[in-house]
Amino acid sequence: MKEWKKLVLIILVFLGAFYIPFSNPRVSSAILESFNMLQEYAREHVLFCLIPAFFIAGAIANFISQGAVIKYFGSGAKKWVSYAVASVSGTILAVCSCTVLPLFAGIYKKGAGIGPAVAFLYAGPAVNVLAIILTARVLGWQLGVARAVGAILFAIVIGITMAIIYRKEDEKRTKDSMAQFGGEEEGRSPIQNIIYFASLLFILIFATWGRPAQDVGFFMAVFNIKWYVTGFFLLILAFVLVKWFNREERIAWVESSWDFAKQIFPLLFAGVMVAGFLMGRPGYDSGIIPSEYVSSVVGGNSLGANLIASVIGAFMYFATLTEIPIIQGLVGAGMGEGPALALLLAGPALSLPNMLVIRSVMGTKKTLVFVSLVVIFATISGMIFGLIV
């Protein structure tokens, strides 16, 4: 760290210690809430969400051919194939905005074009079938349909926009990746690789399968047997690793997974604590910003209300499915239909912890452009939806 950065950090810590009114009940409650949110995040998301995602990212880095990634997701790939696959990824991956990060980092660093990679990054948590169904049941079919259509279109439009903005840079990155690609030797048959990755993917899907807010039949039935199914795929994975992978490959896989964990964990934890301090845990009015302030500025269908809802959604952390009861409460407190959709389209796909990690993967400028596009499109969609309904 450069000396001036150290000085600025010391000054900021000093000013915080000198001026922050720790004795104020709201401030002390918000500080405690940041640790409560970190604990909740660690208990509910690390073991069964992030760790499987890290291992999948490590598998992508080691065992997916770089040539294949470039062929199907590079800047020169067929657009309809790459964007179609990326934009519907959330129908398979019922993950939150943080769990999708290792997977995004894996395919991006392997050579995927920024357009398909960003489409995957947005769609992973946004196009969640269970969340869309519950949105329709709890908040009304209009919001459910608008969320489904909007999320898929967002993924494609934002991805294409990013690809256009960074076209030259992306083409150069693809050429550099191709130059480094030496035609890796494939040690396993295609069917063996499919079984390996499928077992990892199903472990992530079923281990993270949450209890539905309402008894919705199939989803509740799956929840009741989730650990049996997860155990079954763990046994398949163990068999695959022993029979089809040598010791060096297993070590390389673990080391790559650890590299992703080292990069992502600190930023996520810091971001979760900041989000907890500012907004509090979902369902708790313990953050430094009171929840009544939020509901008071997102009523109606004005440009300001939709923009504020989009920005709040972009920075607030939502665990999978928690956005629905939160928005239900806000709608009951006077939130407009348009801002509700804007928050639904911006919230699950983004969060402050998510932004910090994205910045470490693709840089500050690209992250700012991506976040701005999500906020802008969510705002516009909210206004249009508000006018329609």
What tens digit of pLDDT does each residue of 12-50 get?
889 988 888 888 888 898 889 889 888 887 887 788 777
Residue 276 or residue 375, greater confidence: 375
Predicted confidence at residue 228, as pLDDT, reads 95
Highest mean predicted confidence (pLDDT) among 61-75, 225-239, 290-304: 225-239
Total domains in the chain come to 1
Per-residue confidence at 348, pLDDT binned at 50, 70, 90?
confident
- 326 within domain boundaries: yes
- 17 within domain boundaries: no
- 3 within domain boundaries: no
Residue 236: pLDDT over 90: yes
Three-state SS letters, the chain: CCHHHHHHHHHHHHHHHHHCCCCCHHHHHHHHHHHHHHHHHHHHHHHHHHHHHHHHHHHHHHHCCHHHHHHHHCCCCCHHHHHHHHHCHHHCCCCCCCCHHHHHHHHHHCCCCHHHHHHHHHHHHHCCHHHHHHHHHHHCHHHHHHHHHHHHHHHHHHHHHHHHHCHHHHHHHHHHHHHHCCCCCCCCCHHHHHHHHHHHHHHHHHHCCCCCCCCCCHHHHHHHHHHHHHHHHHHHHHHHHHHHCCHHHHHHHHHHHHHHHHHHHHHHHHHHHHHHHHHCCCCCCCCCCCHHHHHHHCECCCHHHHHHHHHHHHHCCCCCCCHHHHHHHHHHCCECHHHHHHHHHHCCCCCHHHHHHHHHHHCHHHHHHHHHHHHHHHHHHHHHHHHHC
Residue type, 310: S
Lowest mean pLDDT among 57-61, 119-123, 363-367: 57-61
- 128 within domain boundaries: yes
Residue 75 or residue 160, greater confidence: 160
Predicted confidence at residue 48, as pLDDT, reads 79
- 67 within domain boundaries: yes
Per-residue confidence at 171, pLDDT binned at 50, 70, 90?
confident
Residue 138: pLDDT over 70: yes
Average pLDDT of the chain, as a whole number: 83
Predicted confidence at residue 187, as pLDDT, reads 64
Domain range for 204 is 42-180+187-388
- 7 within domain boundaries: no
Residue 74 or residue 167, greater confidence: 167
Q: What is the mean pLDDT of residues 334-356?
A: 87
Residue 236 or residue 174, greater confidence: 236
Per-residue confidence at 91, pLDDT binned at 50, 70, 90?
low
Q: What is the mean pLDDT of residues 315-320?
A: 75
- 244 within domain boundaries: yes
- 20 within domain boundaries: no
Predicted confidence at residue 366, as pLDDT, reads 93
Predicted confidence at residue 189, as pLDDT, reads 80
pTM of the shown model: 0.72
Residue 244: pLDDT over 70: yes
Predicted confidence at residue 264, as pLDDT, reads 78
